[in-house]
A and B are shown apart, each in its own frame.
Chain A
């Protein structure tokens, strides 16, 4: 892995929270960040998106609260750097969102905001959304969650 700075999509946290098949990859990223092997950046909208998905789970509000608190703790202790996207990031996001075509589809502005944040911070956007990756290949700075490697295994 060439870069040690990553922007995480909200779906990376959701893989962890909902114990999906890529949970171990998501945990590995968070663990690497806690151990200070990598840096994590996220746009401020990440918290709203996670809350929105979690709000559909009315059976286990205590668990929802605990996961939100954990993310808050990661941010407070500097593991997760939460960034309010500035104009430069927003303009880059618009540029990304305006690419694509009718056949492959156009990238969503929200995905593009995460991606733009990664591009402008020389980071890699990690996402589990393969559709978005297919639409924005030319911008690089993007990687599938399934392909995240343990930074400590780097030669």
Chain B
């Protein structure tokens, strides 16, 4: 396989840059390396990086800690139970405001 550049990044992950022709020819092998070894592969054409192949499960780690925290809270915040439909409650509040506004205008 033609590697233009090959190096181990700060996280100990092998990162390689390959050209489009190699990527096209060896896509299956590249996908295996990305999926099973965790390699990261950049594909370039005429010296210009076009795309990066990264294991699907690693895409989540691209999220910031704030995003992780917000997602975690979104799925874990205890909900509040009610017998009433909150959309109806909100609708009634809005209607009441409209009635009050009408009354005030009539005065």
> A34 and B77 in contact (CB under 8 A), knowing A11-B87, A52-B93?
no
Binding site for B on A (CB under 8 A): 10-11, 14-20, 23, 27, 30-31, 34-35, 49, 52-54, 56-57, 60, 63-64, 66-67, 70, 73-74, 77, 79, 108-111, 128-129, 131
Tell me if B12 is interfacial: C-beta within 8 Å of chain A. no
CB distance from A138 to the nearest CB of B (A): 21
Instruction: Tell me whether B11 is interfacial, beta carbon within 8 Å.
Output: no
Report how many A-B pairs have Cβ atoms within 8 Å: 82
Residue of A nearest to B70 (CB): A34
A102 to chain B, nearest CB (A): 14
Query: A18: which B residues are within 8 A, CB to CB?
Result: 79-82, 86
> Which residues does chain B contribute within 8 Å of A27, judged by CB atoms?
74-75
Write out the residue numbers on chain B whose beta carbons fall within 8 Å of the beta carbon of A35: 63, 67, 71
Q: A63-B80, A64-B80, A66-B78 known; A11 and B70 CB under 8 Å?
A: no
Closest to B93 in A: A52
| B33 to A: closest C-beta gap in Å | 26
A77 and B90 contact, CB distance less than 8 A:
no
Binds A, one of B17-25, B35-43, B94-102: B94-102
Residue pairs across A and B with Cβ atoms less than 8 A apart, 11 shown, are A11-B86, A17-B80, A27-B74, A27-B75, A30-B74, A34-B67, A67-B80, A74-B70, A108-B95, A108-B98, A109-B101
